[in-house]
Amino acid sequence: MKETLDTVKTIYQQTLADYIDIIQKVDAFYNSAWDKLIIIGSVAFVIMGVAVPLIVQWYQRRTLKLSEELLKKDISEQVKKIKSEIIEIVSVEIKTQFGKYETEIKKLNASANAKTFLIQGKLNLEKSYHQLALGDIVSASFSFIESDDYQNLQIALNLILSDCLPHLSKEEIDDLKININRDLELLITNLGKADDRGVFQTVMQDIRLKITKLPKTIQEKPQEKAK
């Protein structure tokens, strides 16, 4: 009986020692795991506290650099576009101004030519060179239309009606058209197109009527009295 108790006691003590040993190992394991966890957490904290800001800072710099490059590229493209638009606007304006100047110069030249021919025509009228005078005044009238000088154009047309045609024949008028390209009929046609206000309608009708009543040939003209 005593031996049985001793055996049980021995087994109990051995089992208790095993439990204690297991508990100690478990405790040691957890203590070791906790220490490792603390170390890992500390390392992770260091990484989070140092590495992550550096990574964020690097990313921000890279993003800023890319944004800066894109902004520079966009600004460069916008500058090129604006320059192109400015050049186009300036070119159009220059062409417009040159066109205006060219038109004004043409008008000035036409006005000078018209006045020269008108003076020459008046001189020929004074000499009774009516056919030559008509040719000069027709040329003057074309230039007065081109220069928009309607005041002097009216004077020229009145000279044609009152001072030239009464002393001429249709043959002489046709000769001016054929030989020196001084076309009275074309002048009336062009004047009709330019006269959008109908200012010259009366004098044009009078000239056409006067032409229909002229002698056909030089021989049919009545003899003029010598001055």
Query: Residue 20, Cβ neighbours under 10 Å: how many?
Result: 10
pLDDT digits (tens, 9 = 90+) for 202-227: 999 999 999 999 999 999 888 765 44
On average, the pLDDT of the chain sits at 81
Tokens (6 digits) for 102: 């060219």
Q: Which is it for the CA torsion 184, 149, 119, 126, positive or negative?
A: positive
Banded pLDDT at 58 (limits 50, 70, 90) = confident
**DSSP for 57-93, written as a single string:** HHHHHHHHHHHHHHHHHHHHHHHHHHHHHHHHHHHHH
Q: Is the pLDDT of residue 16 over 60?
A: no
Question: Which pLDDT does position 122 carry in this prediction?
Answer: 96
Distances (CA, A) of 100 to 28, 90, 103: 104, 15, 5
pTM as predicted: 0.60
pLDDT digits (tens, 9 = 90+) for 88-135: 787 777 777 767 778 888 888 989 999 999 999 999 999 999 999 999
Q: Is the pLDDT of residue 153 over 60?
A: yes
Tokens (6 digits) for 52: 């992550």
Please state, for a pLDDT cut of 90, what percent of the chain lies above it: 44
